Structure 1
Amino acid sequence: MADLRLPTAPEIDGTAHLHSGKVRDLYELTGGPHEGRLLMVASDRISIFDFVLDTTIPDKGELLTRMSLWWSDQLSDVVPNHVVSTDVPDAVRGRAVVCERLDMYPVECVARGYLTGSGLLDYLASGEVCGIPLPAGLEDGSRLPEPIFTPATKADLGDHDENVSYDAVVSSLGAERAAELRALTLEIYGRADAIARERGIILADTKLEFGARGDGTTVLADEVLTPDSSRFWPAAQWQPGRAQPSYDKQIVRNWALSTESGWDRASGEAPPPLPPEVVERTRARYVEAYERLTGQTF
């Protein structure tokens, strides 16, 4: 497990800190009209290779929050989402939402329309992804015959999520709930891919999380279709057989692995601070993704 060295979550008046992840902090509201609800805050932190970097990306939290809210609106007729209000404390205004408490399902719901990442590694080893056989001859970036549901277990902080079979989801949640999550994940992917494609962007894959209300209703939770949870590629530059240009933190990964950074990934040490030009290029990439997808100016 990598040593994430998470910074201490800032105190926010009227809240109690519950948990911090790689890039988000979770609080309980202890007063006001939303007392007892959760406050989910998107920080400007960035993580690569299971390390949270000391360097932050300005405006990243607000960009991802805005994008997630925009996508939730696009999907409102498909599935309810956990957002209750965007009326949040001034200290985190613009990068936080008040959300429902849910009984979260212990599975990462992943839809893939293209082969890359851990799916590619599974395919190269077995010809399958999460137990789903795929045609021979596919390569990095290949479009799949149809989108597939490739669930993963939720790993502890600092560990990698692990791809699992659909049968494992059935064993964990039961056949009815597993079928519901698969259908919802693929419907959301199909809707989002069509919207992105109209804007010249490919949605290669996305990771979603769901939870249940007290009455059993399944609700879309956490962040939705952001560059931190999805792979977005410029459609005009798509070319199977190589790594695709991406609207995410690939700029940071590439720099960390370059000789310029001086970092040895095998050392177990965290990557060094990012140079200002890498920070600015990364911020610009997030801004471009937001503006192209939503049609709004940041």
Structure 2
Amino acid sequence: MPAALSALFALLAAVGNATGTVLQRVGARTVPHGDAFSFRLIRHLLHSPAWLGGIAVIVGAAACQALALNLGSLSLVQPILVTELPFTLLIASAYARRRLPAAGWAASVMVAAGLGLGLAAAAPSGGHSAVPAGMWALALLATGGAMTLCVLGALPRPRGPLRAALFSSASAIGYALTATLMTAATDVFERDGAGAFFTAWQFYGFVATGACALFLLASAMESGPLIASQPALTLGEALVSLALGMLVYGERVRTGWWLLPEGTGAVLVTWGVLILPRVDAKSPSKL
């Protein structure tokens, strides 16, 4: 039952993130070109009702994600958030009052089927809540360094797909680290109560990294097309989260012959994720 509830809250988080993404894309359309990764970007977005509405929805999605992480493992919850991409396309199509092409439905089914197959085969389990300080330092240095390299690679490049993909990759790493810190913070809340939760460094860590990841995602949306940024965000967050779950919390997935259905599921998810932004880019839209 806890695993089922965890999966349910993760799906609700994916729907909330998808809704927030659509609203953010509506708000990002008003940002002048060239304002990515600057304080001007923040000023423009804070004056956008659509973007602020997206933030409000994402806060609710973060609450669902926290509940999911409290009930289940990082290796279970974060891959389910891959469904955010097909949900985004469905919600964007409804907002623009256009029909989703057959390729979009096919890709959405591929993502759902691949995710179900992969998670059923992997059966994430185990893990611990006691993380040594040295392990936290290693995780923070590795993720922070990777994000910095992505940003430094993006800044000198002109507006376009590569710049968007680099900012989106940095955002994906930031969101994965946010989930990792959120897992630790929710463990503190469950074990020691609200007072300890609001004084734990992991609480301030996931708030800071979440805000940073959100800013980088806004920069990615302003820098280039969705077809460049969304696959890097979706797949990158899932992969980095799985790695952090195993590294930081000692979570395990099944190996041996189970790697065959796990690999098949991963291929289906990747294929669907790569198709969906192309469907969105080719379809007439108000976003």
TM-score of the two chains, using structure 1 as the length reference: 0.24
Q: Taking CA–CA contacts closer than 8 Å with sequence separation of 6 or more, which of the two structures ends up with the larger relative contact order?
A: 2
Give the greater-gyration-radius structure (CA): 1
TM-score of the pair, normalised by structure 2:
0.25
Pick the structure with more helix per residue.
2
- The structure that is strand-richer by fraction is 1
